[in-house]
Structure 1
Amino acid sequence: MKAKIGALLLCAATACSVGYAATPEAKTLYKNTKSAAAASYKAALEKCDSVVGNPKDVCVAQAKAARVRAEADATAQYRNTLRAYTKARIDIANADFALDRTRCGAFTGNEHDVCVERAKATRTAALADAKADKKVIEARSDAREDKRIAEYKVAAEKCDALAGTARDQCVAAAKSQYGY
Protein backbone atom coordinates (compact mmCIF):
# COMPACT_ATOMS: atom_id res chain seq x y z
CA MET A 1 0.00 0.00 0.00
CA LYS A 2 2.78 2.45 0.91
CA ALA A 3 4.59 1.67 -2.33
CA LYS A 4 1.42 2.39 -4.30
CA ILE A 5 0.92 5.68 -2.46
CA GLY A 6 4.56 6.58 -3.10
CA ALA A 7 4.11 5.89 -6.79
CA LEU A 8 0.97 8.02 -6.84
CA LEU A 9 2.79 10.86 -5.11
CA LEU A 10 5.77 10.62 -7.43
CA CYS A 11 3.50 10.64 -10.44
CA ALA A 12 1.45 13.51 -9.06
CA ALA A 13 4.60 15.50 -8.24
CA THR A 14 5.90 15.27 -11.79
CA ALA A 15 4.12 15.35 -15.12
CA CYS A 16 0.97 13.65 -13.89
CA SER A 17 -0.34 16.85 -12.38
CA VAL A 18 -0.58 18.32 -15.87
CA GLY A 19 -2.88 15.70 -17.37
CA TYR A 20 -3.01 14.56 -20.97
CA ALA A 21 -5.34 13.53 -23.72
CA ALA A 22 -6.09 9.87 -23.27
CA THR A 23 -4.82 7.62 -26.01
CA PRO A 24 -7.04 4.86 -27.38
CA GLU A 25 -4.74 2.33 -25.68
CA ALA A 26 -5.15 4.07 -22.33
CA LYS A 27 -8.91 4.13 -22.73
CA THR A 28 -8.95 0.43 -23.60
CA LEU A 29 -6.74 -0.38 -20.61
CA TYR A 30 -9.04 1.67 -18.38
CA LYS A 31 -12.17 -0.12 -19.61
CA ASN A 32 -10.49 -3.53 -19.32
CA THR A 33 -9.35 -2.79 -15.77
CA LYS A 34 -12.84 -1.70 -14.76
CA SER A 35 -14.32 -4.83 -16.35
CA ALA A 36 -11.79 -7.01 -14.57
CA ALA A 37 -12.63 -5.30 -11.28
CA ALA A 38 -16.34 -5.99 -11.82
CA ALA A 39 -15.64 -9.62 -12.71
CA SER A 40 -13.40 -10.07 -9.65
CA TYR A 41 -16.11 -8.50 -7.50
CA LYS A 42 -18.75 -10.91 -8.84
CA ALA A 43 -16.45 -13.89 -8.27
CA ALA A 44 -15.66 -12.75 -4.73
CA LEU A 45 -19.37 -12.30 -3.96
CA GLU A 46 -20.06 -15.83 -5.15
CA LYS A 47 -17.43 -17.13 -2.72
CA CYS A 48 -19.16 -15.18 0.05
CA ASP A 49 -22.43 -17.06 -0.50
CA SER A 50 -21.11 -20.12 1.33
CA VAL A 51 -20.44 -18.14 4.52
CA VAL A 52 -23.03 -16.82 7.01
CA GLY A 53 -23.19 -14.14 9.69
CA ASN A 54 -20.49 -11.54 10.25
CA PRO A 55 -17.86 -13.47 8.27
CA LYS A 56 -20.15 -13.14 5.22
CA ASP A 57 -20.51 -9.40 5.82
CA VAL A 58 -16.72 -9.11 6.08
CA CYS A 59 -16.30 -11.14 2.90
CA VAL A 60 -18.70 -8.86 1.01
CA ALA A 61 -17.01 -5.75 2.41
CA GLN A 62 -13.60 -7.10 1.32
CA ALA A 63 -14.94 -7.68 -2.19
CA LYS A 64 -16.34 -4.15 -2.31
CA ALA A 65 -13.08 -2.65 -1.01
CA ALA A 66 -11.06 -4.57 -3.60
CA ARG A 67 -13.39 -3.35 -6.36
CA VAL A 68 -13.18 0.25 -5.17
CA ARG A 69 -9.39 0.05 -4.96
CA ALA A 70 -9.07 -1.38 -8.49
CA GLU A 71 -11.53 1.10 -10.01
CA ALA A 72 -10.05 4.09 -8.18
CA ASP A 73 -6.53 3.18 -9.26
CA ALA A 74 -7.66 2.68 -12.86
CA THR A 75 -9.50 5.98 -12.91
CA ALA A 76 -6.57 7.85 -11.39
CA GLN A 77 -4.14 6.38 -13.90
CA TYR A 78 -6.51 7.08 -16.78
CA ARG A 79 -7.16 10.71 -15.82
CA ASN A 80 -3.57 11.18 -14.68
CA THR A 81 -4.17 14.32 -12.60
CA LEU A 82 -3.37 15.26 -9.05
CA ARG A 83 -7.08 15.64 -8.33
CA ALA A 84 -7.79 12.11 -9.64
CA TYR A 85 -5.01 10.58 -7.54
CA THR A 86 -6.22 12.40 -4.43
CA LYS A 87 -9.81 11.31 -5.07
CA ALA A 88 -8.63 7.72 -5.51
CA ARG A 89 -6.85 7.82 -2.16
CA ILE A 90 -9.97 9.25 -0.50
CA ASP A 91 -12.23 6.62 -2.08
CA ILE A 92 -9.86 3.85 -0.98
CA ALA A 93 -9.74 5.23 2.57
CA ASN A 94 -13.53 5.27 2.73
CA ALA A 95 -13.78 1.72 1.37
CA ASP A 96 -11.22 0.52 3.90
CA PHE A 97 -13.21 2.28 6.63
CA ALA A 98 -16.38 0.44 5.59
CA LEU A 99 -14.46 -2.84 5.70
CA ASP A 100 -13.04 -2.06 9.14
CA ARG A 101 -16.50 -1.12 10.44
CA THR A 102 -17.86 -4.42 9.17
CA ARG A 103 -15.07 -6.29 10.92
CA CYS A 104 -16.02 -4.51 14.12
CA GLY A 105 -19.42 -6.20 13.93
CA ALA A 106 -17.83 -9.35 15.32
CA PHE A 107 -17.20 -7.59 18.64
CA THR A 108 -19.53 -6.41 21.37
CA GLY A 109 -19.42 -3.84 24.12
CA ASN A 110 -16.24 -1.86 24.70
CA GLU A 111 -14.27 -4.01 22.30
CA HIS A 112 -16.69 -2.98 19.52
CA ASP A 113 -16.44 0.69 20.48
CA VAL A 114 -12.64 0.56 20.47
CA CYS A 115 -12.66 -1.18 17.09
CA VAL A 116 -14.96 1.48 15.60
CA GLU A 117 -12.83 4.31 17.00
CA ARG A 118 -9.70 2.66 15.59
CA ALA A 119 -11.40 2.43 12.18
CA LYS A 120 -12.38 6.10 12.35
CA ALA A 121 -8.87 7.09 13.37
CA THR A 122 -7.37 5.11 10.49
CA ARG A 123 -9.73 6.74 8.00
CA THR A 124 -9.07 10.21 9.42
CA ALA A 125 -5.32 9.66 9.13
CA ALA A 126 -5.61 8.41 5.54
CA LEU A 127 -7.82 11.34 4.52
CA ALA A 128 -5.50 13.84 6.21
CA ASP A 129 -2.47 12.29 4.48
CA ALA A 130 -4.16 12.45 1.07
CA LYS A 131 -5.13 16.10 1.50
CA ALA A 132 -1.76 17.07 2.96
CA ASP A 133 0.12 15.32 0.17
CA LYS A 134 -1.99 17.17 -2.38
CA LYS A 135 -1.14 20.49 -0.75
CA VAL A 136 2.56 19.61 -0.62
CA ILE A 137 2.60 18.68 -4.30
CA GLU A 138 0.75 21.87 -5.22
CA ALA A 139 3.18 23.95 -3.13
CA ARG A 140 6.18 22.31 -4.80
CA SER A 141 4.68 22.95 -8.20
CA ASP A 142 4.10 26.61 -7.31
CA ALA A 143 7.66 26.89 -6.00
CA ARG A 144 9.06 25.41 -9.23
CA GLU A 145 7.06 27.96 -11.22
CA ASP A 146 8.27 30.83 -9.03
CA LYS A 147 11.88 29.67 -9.46
CA ARG A 148 11.47 29.41 -13.22
CA ILE A 149 10.08 32.94 -13.41
CA ALA A 150 12.89 34.30 -11.25
CA GLU A 151 15.54 32.57 -13.35
CA TYR A 152 13.97 33.97 -16.53
CA LYS A 153 14.06 37.48 -15.09
CA VAL A 154 17.76 37.06 -14.30
CA ALA A 155 18.47 35.83 -17.83
CA ALA A 156 16.43 38.68 -19.34
CA GLU A 157 18.26 41.20 -17.19
CA LYS A 158 21.60 39.86 -18.48
CA CYS A 159 20.35 40.45 -21.99
CA ASP A 160 19.73 44.14 -21.25
CA ALA A 161 23.51 44.71 -21.27
CA LEU A 162 23.61 43.70 -24.95
CA ALA A 163 22.40 45.63 -27.99
CA GLY A 164 20.93 44.88 -31.40
CA THR A 165 20.73 41.35 -32.73
CA ALA A 166 22.88 40.00 -29.89
CA ARG A 167 20.24 41.24 -27.43
CA ASP A 168 17.40 39.81 -29.54
CA GLN A 169 19.15 36.43 -29.71
CA CYS A 170 19.82 36.49 -25.98
CA VAL A 171 16.15 37.27 -25.20
CA ALA A 172 14.98 34.57 -27.61
CA ALA A 173 17.31 32.04 -25.99
CA ALA A 174 16.08 33.00 -22.50
CA LYS A 175 12.45 32.70 -23.58
CA SER A 176 13.12 29.36 -25.15
CA GLN A 177 15.02 28.05 -22.12
CA TYR A 178 12.40 29.14 -19.57
CA GLY A 179 9.28 28.44 -21.61
CA TYR A 180 8.09 31.89 -22.57
Structure 2
Amino acid sequence: MKHLNMTAVAVAIGLVFSAGAMAQSLSKSDYEAEKDRIAAAYKSDKANCDAHSGNKKDVCIAEAKGNEKIAKAELEARAEPSAKNHYDVLIAKAEADYAVAKEKCDDQSGNAQDVCVKEAKAAETRAKADAEVQMKTWKANKSAYETSSEAGMKAKEDRTEARQDAATDIVDADYAVAKEKCDAMAGDAKSRCLDAAKAKYDQ
Protein backbone atom coordinates (compact mmCIF):
# COMPACT_ATOMS: atom_id res chain seq x y z
CA MET A 1 0.00 0.00 0.00
CA LYS A 2 1.26 3.43 -0.89
CA HIS A 3 1.60 5.25 2.41
CA LEU A 4 -0.96 7.91 3.13
CA ASN A 5 -0.48 11.47 2.01
CA MET A 6 -0.62 13.70 5.07
CA THR A 7 -2.00 16.64 3.09
CA ALA A 8 -4.86 14.49 1.91
CA VAL A 9 -5.51 13.49 5.50
CA ALA A 10 -5.67 17.12 6.57
CA VAL A 11 -8.04 18.01 3.72
CA ALA A 12 -10.23 15.05 4.60
CA ILE A 13 -10.76 16.38 8.11
CA GLY A 14 -13.36 18.86 6.96
CA LEU A 15 -15.24 16.20 5.07
CA VAL A 16 -15.53 13.59 7.79
CA PHE A 17 -17.19 16.02 10.17
CA SER A 18 -19.90 16.85 7.63
CA ALA A 19 -23.51 15.77 8.00
CA GLY A 20 -23.06 13.34 5.13
CA ALA A 21 -20.28 11.52 6.92
CA MET A 22 -22.43 11.26 10.03
CA ALA A 23 -25.29 9.67 8.13
CA GLN A 24 -23.62 6.32 7.59
CA SER A 25 -24.61 3.27 9.60
CA LEU A 26 -23.89 -0.46 9.70
CA SER A 27 -25.95 -3.46 10.79
CA LYS A 28 -24.61 -5.86 13.41
CA SER A 29 -24.22 -8.70 10.89
CA ASP A 30 -22.38 -6.43 8.46
CA TYR A 31 -20.20 -5.21 11.32
CA GLU A 32 -19.17 -8.75 12.26
CA ALA A 33 -18.56 -9.66 8.62
CA GLU A 34 -16.38 -6.60 8.18
CA LYS A 35 -14.39 -7.45 11.31
CA ASP A 36 -13.68 -10.89 9.83
CA ARG A 37 -12.70 -9.36 6.50
CA ILE A 38 -10.27 -6.97 8.21
CA ALA A 39 -8.68 -9.80 10.18
CA ALA A 40 -8.31 -11.91 7.02
CA ALA A 41 -6.87 -9.01 5.06
CA TYR A 42 -4.27 -8.33 7.75
CA LYS A 43 -3.29 -11.99 7.90
CA SER A 44 -2.90 -12.10 4.12
CA ASP A 45 -0.98 -8.82 3.94
CA LYS A 46 1.38 -9.91 6.72
CA ALA A 47 1.99 -13.27 5.03
CA ASN A 48 2.85 -11.48 1.79
CA CYS A 49 5.58 -9.62 3.66
CA ASP A 50 7.48 -12.91 4.01
CA ALA A 51 8.46 -12.54 0.36
CA HIS A 52 10.65 -9.60 1.40
CA SER A 53 13.63 -9.33 3.72
CA GLY A 54 15.45 -6.70 5.75
CA ASN A 55 13.97 -3.23 6.02
CA LYS A 56 11.69 -3.80 3.03
CA LYS A 57 9.95 -6.48 5.08
CA ASP A 58 9.73 -4.16 8.09
CA VAL A 59 8.08 -1.50 5.91
CA CYS A 60 5.68 -4.09 4.52
CA ILE A 61 4.66 -5.20 8.02
CA ALA A 62 4.21 -1.59 9.14
CA GLU A 63 1.92 -1.02 6.16
CA ALA A 64 -0.08 -4.16 6.95
CA LYS A 65 -0.52 -3.08 10.57
CA GLY A 66 -1.41 0.45 9.48
CA ASN A 67 -4.04 -0.85 7.06
CA GLU A 68 -5.57 -2.95 9.81
CA LYS A 69 -5.59 -0.08 12.32
CA ILE A 70 -7.22 2.28 9.84
CA ALA A 71 -9.78 -0.31 8.73
CA LYS A 72 -10.79 -0.98 12.35
CA ALA A 73 -11.19 2.74 13.04
CA GLU A 74 -13.22 3.21 9.87
CA LEU A 75 -15.41 0.27 10.81
CA GLU A 76 -16.21 1.81 14.20
CA ALA A 77 -17.01 5.12 12.50
CA ARG A 78 -19.44 3.35 10.16
CA ALA A 79 -21.02 1.28 12.94
CA GLU A 80 -21.41 4.22 15.33
CA PRO A 81 -21.17 7.48 13.37
CA SER A 82 -19.90 10.29 15.57
CA ALA A 83 -17.40 13.12 15.48
CA LYS A 84 -15.19 11.24 17.95
CA ASN A 85 -15.07 8.08 15.81
CA HIS A 86 -14.31 10.03 12.66
CA TYR A 87 -11.58 11.85 14.59
CA ASP A 88 -10.17 8.45 15.55
CA VAL A 89 -10.00 7.53 11.86
CA LEU A 90 -7.85 10.57 11.17
CA ILE A 91 -5.58 9.76 14.09
CA ALA A 92 -5.24 6.16 12.92
CA LYS A 93 -4.24 7.38 9.46
CA ALA A 94 -1.70 9.83 10.89
CA GLU A 95 -0.14 7.16 13.11
CA ALA A 96 -0.09 4.55 10.35
CA ASP A 97 1.60 6.96 7.97
CA TYR A 98 4.19 7.84 10.62
CA ALA A 99 4.95 4.18 11.36
CA VAL A 100 5.57 3.46 7.67
CA ALA A 101 7.62 6.62 7.14
CA LYS A 102 9.73 5.87 10.22
CA GLU A 103 10.51 2.37 8.95
CA LYS A 104 11.52 3.79 5.57
CA CYS A 105 13.95 6.11 7.37
CA ASP A 106 15.93 2.98 8.33
CA ASP A 107 17.16 2.88 4.73
CA GLN A 108 19.24 5.93 5.61
CA SER A 109 21.92 6.44 8.24
CA GLY A 110 23.47 9.07 10.45
CA ASN A 111 22.06 12.59 10.41
CA ALA A 112 20.02 11.91 7.25
CA GLN A 113 18.15 9.19 9.14
CA ASP A 114 17.65 11.43 12.17
CA VAL A 115 16.24 14.20 9.99
CA CYS A 116 14.00 11.71 8.19
CA VAL A 117 12.51 10.53 11.49
CA LYS A 118 12.01 14.09 12.76
CA GLU A 119 10.27 15.06 9.49
CA ALA A 120 8.00 12.02 9.73
CA LYS A 121 7.15 12.97 13.31
CA ALA A 122 6.51 16.57 12.31
CA ALA A 123 4.07 15.41 9.60
CA GLU A 124 2.25 13.25 12.14
CA THR A 125 2.12 16.15 14.61
CA ARG A 126 0.60 18.45 11.97
CA ALA A 127 -2.05 15.89 11.02
CA LYS A 128 -2.98 15.22 14.66
CA ALA A 129 -3.05 18.92 15.46
CA ASP A 130 -5.40 19.57 12.54
CA ALA A 131 -7.65 16.72 13.67
CA GLU A 132 -7.70 18.06 17.23
CA VAL A 133 -8.66 21.55 16.06
CA GLN A 134 -11.48 20.17 13.97
CA MET A 135 -12.74 18.00 16.82
CA LYS A 136 -12.73 20.86 19.33
CA THR A 137 -14.29 23.21 16.79
CA TRP A 138 -17.10 20.75 16.12
CA LYS A 139 -17.77 20.35 19.85
CA ALA A 140 -17.63 24.10 20.40
CA ASN A 141 -20.03 24.80 17.54
CA LYS A 142 -22.41 22.10 18.78
CA SER A 143 -22.36 23.58 22.28
CA ALA A 144 -22.97 27.08 20.95
CA TYR A 145 -25.87 25.90 18.82
CA GLU A 146 -27.54 24.05 21.68
CA THR A 147 -27.13 26.64 24.41
CA SER A 148 -27.03 30.38 24.97
CA SER A 149 -25.03 33.27 23.54
CA GLU A 150 -22.79 33.00 26.58
CA ALA A 151 -21.95 29.47 25.51
CA GLY A 152 -21.25 30.88 22.07
CA MET A 153 -18.56 33.11 23.52
CA LYS A 154 -17.10 30.11 25.38
CA ALA A 155 -17.17 28.13 22.13
CA LYS A 156 -15.22 30.89 20.41
CA GLU A 157 -12.64 30.84 23.20
CA ASP A 158 -12.33 27.05 22.93
CA ARG A 159 -11.76 27.27 19.18
CA THR A 160 -9.08 29.93 19.64
CA GLU A 161 -7.35 27.89 22.34
CA ALA A 162 -7.43 24.76 20.19
CA ARG A 163 -5.85 26.60 17.26
CA GLN A 164 -3.15 28.07 19.52
CA ASP A 165 -2.32 24.64 20.98
CA ALA A 166 -2.13 23.14 17.50
CA ALA A 167 0.12 25.95 16.26
CA THR A 168 2.47 25.44 19.21
CA ASP A 169 2.73 21.69 18.57
CA ILE A 170 3.47 22.25 14.88
CA VAL A 171 6.14 24.89 15.56
CA ASP A 172 7.83 22.62 18.12
CA ALA A 173 7.88 19.73 15.64
CA ASP A 174 9.28 21.89 12.84
CA TYR A 175 11.92 23.33 15.19
CA ALA A 176 13.00 19.79 16.08
CA VAL A 177 13.52 19.06 12.36
CA ALA A 178 15.54 22.24 11.88
CA LYS A 179 17.76 21.46 14.89
CA GLU A 180 18.38 17.96 13.63
CA LYS A 181 19.52 19.32 10.26
CA CYS A 182 22.00 21.58 12.05
CA ASP A 183 23.63 18.52 13.62
CA ALA A 184 25.09 17.67 10.22
CA MET A 185 27.21 20.81 10.50
CA ALA A 186 30.09 21.78 12.76
CA GLY A 187 31.69 24.85 14.34
CA ASP A 188 30.44 28.30 13.38
CA ALA A 189 28.20 26.90 10.63
CA LYS A 190 26.34 24.80 13.18
CA SER A 191 26.05 27.72 15.59
CA ARG A 192 24.67 29.97 12.85
CA CYS A 193 22.26 27.24 11.82
CA LEU A 194 20.98 26.80 15.38
CA ASP A 195 20.66 30.56 15.88
CA ALA A 196 18.68 30.84 12.65
CA ALA A 197 16.41 27.99 13.70
CA LYS A 198 15.78 29.56 17.11
CA ALA A 199 15.00 32.91 15.50
CA LYS A 200 12.69 31.38 12.91
CA TYR A 201 10.70 29.33 15.40
CA ASP A 202 10.93 31.84 18.27
CA GLN A 203 12.65 29.41 20.63
Would you call these one fold, judging by a TM-score over 0.5? yes
Name the structure 1 match of 2:84: 83
Instruction: State the 1:15 CA deviation.
Output: 8.8
Instruction: State the 1:147 CA deviation.
Output: 6.9
Q: What letter matches 1:49 in structure 2?
A: D
CA deviations on 1:114-144 (whole Å, 9 max, x unpaired) are 1101111011011111110011111221232
Q: What letter matches 1:9 in structure 2?
A: F
TM-score (norm 2): 0.62
* C-alpha separation in 1, matches of 2:131 and 2:103: 23
* C-alpha separation in 2, matches of 1:15 and 1:62: 26
Name the structure 2 match of 1:40: 41
Contact map agreement 1:33 1:70 (CA 8 A) in 2: no
CA deviations on 1:60-114 (whole Å, 9 max, x unpaired) are 1111111111111111121212222222322322222111111111110111111
Unaligned runs of at least 5 residues, structure 1: 149-180
1:12-161 pair list within 5 angstroms:
16=22, 26-146=27-147
State the SS of the aligned residue for 1:106. Answer: coil
* C-alpha separation in 1, matches of 2:125 and 2:21: 28
Unaligned runs of at least 5 residues, structure 2: 1-7, 150-203
Q: Could you list the structure 1 runs, at least 4 aligned residues long, displaced by more than 4 angstroms after superposition.
A: 1-4
Instruction: State the 1:146 CA deviation.
Output: 3.8
TM-score (norm 1): 0.69
Instruction: State the 1:6 CA deviation.
Output: 3.8
1:160-179 pair list within 5 angstroms:
none
Size of the aligned set, in residue pairs, is: 141
Name the structure 2 match of 1:9: 17
Contact map agreement 2:14 2:134 (CA 8 A) in 1: no
What CA RMSD, in Å, does the superposition of the two structures yield over aligned residues?
2.6
Greater C-alpha radius of gyration = 1
